Amino acid sequence: MEKIAIEYGDGLFDLACEEGIEKELLTQTRALKSLLRSEPSYTRLMSSRSVKKEEKDLLLKQAFEGRLHRYLYNFLRLMNDRDYFSYVPACCSRYEDRYYLDNGLKKVTVRSASPLTDDQKARVKESVEKKLGIKAEAEFICDPSLIAGLRIEAEGVMIENSAKSRLEDLKRHLGTAVTGNN
């Protein structure tokens, strides 16, 4: 990770800790990172030297003022002012890393074919924590391509129990049975 992303991501995290808003900013930095990664043209525009800083500041105001915590909004303005806007997604990642580290958490991504209820989410999280011996911060994503079941990624381990994976296994086994190749 770039030195700038570490320095500014850590600074934002330290400020959030001083104010007791680290969880709130975690949610917002995740959303911001996702938004900027899904719209790379916005980051390119905000990083362009051919657009005046004042114009970019107005764009930030229109897009984010009142929608983000004032510290995160001011952070974006600071990154714009210093011509570091291209580092914002990496700063958000660093913020998230620090949150996990400081709270002894491991990131777990749970993909399901359909949305899970709060009770199902709690049971999945508890099961993962018990199975892997970790304290988990779970992110739940609906992925209809799984057809049914779950795909869980944590600590470099993937646990998959989805209809899609079972169909792919069946296809492999049938191919082996028909061709005789292993």
Q: Residue 179 corresponds to which tokens in the numbers above?
A: 């061709």
Alpha helices (H) in the chain, listed in sequence order: 3-19, 22-38, 40-47, 53-64, 70-81, 88-102, 118-132, 163-179
Token code pair at residue 139: 């992110």
Identify which has the larger pLDDT, 129 or 146: 129
Bridge partners, 106 (sequence order) = 136
- How many Å apart are CA 124 and CA 82, to the nearest integer? 43
Is 162's pLDDT higher than 90?
no
Do 68 and 12 meet the contact criterion of CB atoms below 8 Å apart?
Answer: no
Give the pLDDT band (50/70/90) at residue 146: confident
What local confidence, expressed as pLDDT, does residue 157 receive?
Answer: 72
Domain ranges of the chain: 3-101, 105-179
Topology annotation, domain 3-101: Peroxidase; domain 1 (1.10.520)
* Adjacent-strand bridge partners of 111: 141, 151
Average pLDDT over residues 109-138: 90
How far is residue 68 from each of residues 33, 59, 74, 122, measured CA to CA in Å? 13, 14, 9, 28
